[in-house]
Amino acid sequence: MRARAAVKRLSHVIAVLSIVTFMTMLMLDLAPGDPARVAAGDTATPEQLAAAREQLNLDKPVIVRWLLWVGDLLRGDLGTSLRTRQDVSDVLIERIPVTAEIAVLALVMALVIAIPVGTWSAYRKGRAFDKVSQAVGSVLISAPSFLVALVLSYGLALQLGWLPIVGWAGFAEDPVGNLRTATLAVLSLALCEAAVFVRLLRSDMITVLGQEYVLAATAKGLSPYRVLVKHALRPSSFSLLTLAGISLGRLIGGTVTIEVIFSIPGIGQLIYQSIMNKDVITVQGAVAFIAIAYIIINATVDLMYTWLDPRIKVGGKR
């Protein structure tokens, strides 16, 4: 049974990867602009263009090009950027840690904010704390993250001067500078994610707090803290876990606006620039990475369900 589940899962993964990368290639092929011109340069002669086209296999149908790309991928070769001539894998390895750091920090911070706030809001439903957190949450949910980013950078960087406005320092060279440059981006992303998390956790927690076993735990004379944390939190966390997984996938995929606003050299910025430049090969590599990241995150989330609720068995239903 285990092996069958694993095979099923693997075939699922392969199908998702194939569809996503093929669709990316197809969409970029349909978009206006000529990758051959990007590769050969603006001043290329028709002969040079034709040569570039042949070298890039642009004369072949999309499906063939995709199969060739998959073949290279299986050999560990993601190709070279049409514009910079860098290996796409090198570019990705340079960019991924930046985005991953921001994504993970933002997710952790969002959870650190959302779990206590959501729990307490549910416990004190309709009281002052709940009302304030709901109101703040509504603002953060309706405001796009770039707006939050602009407000934060105005306040914390421009007015107070605590943080640099833009830029990025690598962790290896300058750990403190790295955290300082990451803070604004992390905070802007975390606040918006946290607002949604709070709302979700609060409503699930309110349902759980109405359950008989919570009353039974209360009737043992446990403190409210223990009832909330040890009895109510875990059963209230299913939707939160699902959403946190989706959020992490989205954040790992790079948040284009935030990376552009704060000039952070991450995946989001890379994809944005590559699409602008018709750098098909780079986009393709980045998309493959994002798809793989999503798949890994989803598998992790599935495993965590079984930890949250012992009634769920791996590969089975409740």
Partner 1 sequence: MSLPTKTKTQSPPAGPAADSDAPLLAIEDLRTWFDTPQGIVHAVDGVDLTLERGKTLALVGESGSGKSVLGRSVMGILGSHALTPTGSVRIDGRELRGKSRKELRGLWGPVVSMVFQDPLTSLNPVRRLDVQLTEGMAVHLPLSKADRLARAVDLLRRVGIPEPERRLRMYPHELSGGMRQRVGIAIALACKPRLLIADEPTTALDVTIQRQILDLLAELQDLGGMGMILITHNLGVAAGRSDDIAVMYAGQIIEKGPTKNVFKHTRHPYTSALLGSLPRLEDPPHSTLAAPPGRPPVVVDPPRRCRFAERCSHAQARCLSEAPTLDQDTSAGTSVACFFPVGTGRGTDALKRNQEAGRTAAGLAVERSVA
Provide the binding-site residues for partner 1, judged by CB under 8 A.
Answer: 125, 211-223, 226, 230-231, 234-235, 308-311
Structure tokens at 230: 């040890």
Residue closer to partner 1 (CB basis): 66 or 123 = 123
**Considering the complex, what minimum distance in angstroms separates the CB of residue 204 from partner 1?**
13
**Considering the complex, what minimum distance in angstroms separates the CB of residue 62 from partner 1?**
49
Residue closer to partner 1 (CB basis): 130 or 193 = 130
- Spatial neighbors of 283 by CB under 8 A, at least 6 apart, are 24, 28, 271, 274, 275
Write the DSSP assignment of 274-287 as a string of letters: HHHTT-HHHHHHHH
**Considering the complex, what minimum distance in angstroms separates the CB of residue 218 from partner 1?**
6
**Considering the complex, what minimum distance in angstroms separates the CB of residue 232 from partner 1?**
9
Write the DSSP assignment of 212-230 as a string of letters: HHHHHHHTTT--HHHIIII
d(CA 86, CA 98): 18
Q: Which of 312, 272, 285, 277 is nearest to 84 (CA)?
A: 277
**Considering the complex, what minimum distance in angstroms separates the CB of residue 245 from partner 1?**
19
Residue closer to partner 1 (CB basis): 12 or 230 = 230
d(CA 165, CA 147): 15
d(CA 136, CA 145): 14
**Considering the complex, what minimum distance in angstroms separates the CB of residue 52 from partner 1?**
60
Residue closer to partner 1 (CB basis): 218 or 277 = 218
**Which contacts qualify for 31-37: CB closer than 8 Å, 24 or more apart?**
31/278, 33/278, 34/278, 35/82, 35/278, 35/279, 35/280, 37/278
